């Protein structure tokens, strides 16, 4: 069902792009918009991960430079039956994480140093399990392509402010459609994809980590921290908000993510379904290692992914 919904939503975005092209340039404009959308999708397919990681100035880490963080991701990837993704850290106090890549074989996961500073080890594992669920569901490519097309629609609509067609296509009604309706509709479609995928990734992450309550706890901490600490990347490119585990602002009708409180409630319901009364062990590269609640504070990672 999620796959069919995504195909329909991506088709709707492409149709909006073509409709906007027709409004501004007739049949020729529609064909140009379709060709441009196809080229954007092709370029994004091959370069999405590099674009996103460079945008965040992320640096790759390994078992030597961030042993604990890397081991958590390795253990979770093995448990999920996924190839080991590339692992990145972002030197930023803004607490967040995301996954990118065109498929599981070419995936990357990233977390900020701000995230590692406020989450304990179980919570870090739960967050990375959520990101690996996005990889497993092949959400990363879809979300990047959707954000690209939605951004292009907004760009073309802004261009429409200065466009006047020779056959009177620049009338007031057409300009309202081009400048207001199309970007708004594109934003709604983008939000619909993101919100659907976040719920699915929360459940998938809970199943991979076996610890839905840790993910619920992490979401509460991250939402509070992301709301307080600005994110320079989304300040420059608001479409990037759809990539993160939390949006980095207050929840609203126009948020790319579901309400955090609703996600937390759903995760607690999943924990009840799984019959969990206390947090289970955390996945590591060497297997499952139990961390008693009394030791959680000391099991946190430093900004370089090492045990404190």
The CA radius of gyration of the chain, in Å to the nearest whole number, is 21
- Structural contact between residues 134 and 144, judged by C-beta atoms closer than 8 angstroms: no
State yes or no: 198 annotated in a binding site: yes
State yes or no: 122 annotated in a binding site: no
> Which entry of 122, 131, 207, 273 is annotated as an active-site residue?
131
Closest by Cα among 204, 197, 253, 249 to 225:
249
Count the alpha carbons within 13 Å of 146 in the hemisphere toward its beta carbon: 29
CA 170 to chain CA centroid, Å, is 37
State yes or no: 59 annotated in a binding site: no
Which residues pair with residue 288 across a beta bridge? 283
Closest by Cα among 91, 39, 40, 48 to 242:
48
Residue 110: phi and psi, rounded to 5, are -140, 145
Residue 131: active-site member: yes
Which residues pair with residue 90 across a beta bridge? 112
How far apart are alpha carbons 178 and 183 in whole angstroms? 8
How far apart are alpha carbons 259 and 250 in whole angstroms? 9
How far apart are alpha carbons 118 and 127 in whole angstroms? 12
How far apart are alpha carbons 10 and 76 in whole angstroms? 30
Residue 307 token pair = 């045990």
Where in the sequence numbering do the catalytic residues fall? 131
Binding-site residues, in ranges, read 130, 134, 198
Binding-site residues for Zn(2+), in ranges, read 130, 134, 198
């Amino acid at each position: 069902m999620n796959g069919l919904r995504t195909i329909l939503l991506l088709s709707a975005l492409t149709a909006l792009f073509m409709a906007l092209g027709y409004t501004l340039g007739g049949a020729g404009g529609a064909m140009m918009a379709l060709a441009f959308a196809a080229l954007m999708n092709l370029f994004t397919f091959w370069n999405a991960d590099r674009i996103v990681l460079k945008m965040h100035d992320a640096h790759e880490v390994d078992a030597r430079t961030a042993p604990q963080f890397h081991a958590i991701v390795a253990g979770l990837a093995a448990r999920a039956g996924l190839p080991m993704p590339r692992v990145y850290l972002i030197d930023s106090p803004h607490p967040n994480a995301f996954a990118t890549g065109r498929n599981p074989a070419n995936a990357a996961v990233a977390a900020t140093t701000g995230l590692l500073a406020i989450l304990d080890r179980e919570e870090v594992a739960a967050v990375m399990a959520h990101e690996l669920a996005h990889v497993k569901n092949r959400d990363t490519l879809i979300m990047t392509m959707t954000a690209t097309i939605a951004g292009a629609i907004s760009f073309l609509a802004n261009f429409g402010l200065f466009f006047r067609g020779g056959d009177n296509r620049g009338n007031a009604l057409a300009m309202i459609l081009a400048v207001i309706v199309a970007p708004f509709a594109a934003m709604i479609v983008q939000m619909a994809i993101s919100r659907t995928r976040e719920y699915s990734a929360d459940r998938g992450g809970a199943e991979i980590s076996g610890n839905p309550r840790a993910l619920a706890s992490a979401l509460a901490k991250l939402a509070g921290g992301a709301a307080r600490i600005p994110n320079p990347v989304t300040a420059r490119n608001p479409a990037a908000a759809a990539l993160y585990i939390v949006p980095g602002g207050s929840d609203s009708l126009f948020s790319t993510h579901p309400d955090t409180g609703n996600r937390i409630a759903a995760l607690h319901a999943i924990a009840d379904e799984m019959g969990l009364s206390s947090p289970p062990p955390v996945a590591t590269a060497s297997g499952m290692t139990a961390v008693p609640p009394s030791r959680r504070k000391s099991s946190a990672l430093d900004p370089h992914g090492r045990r404190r």
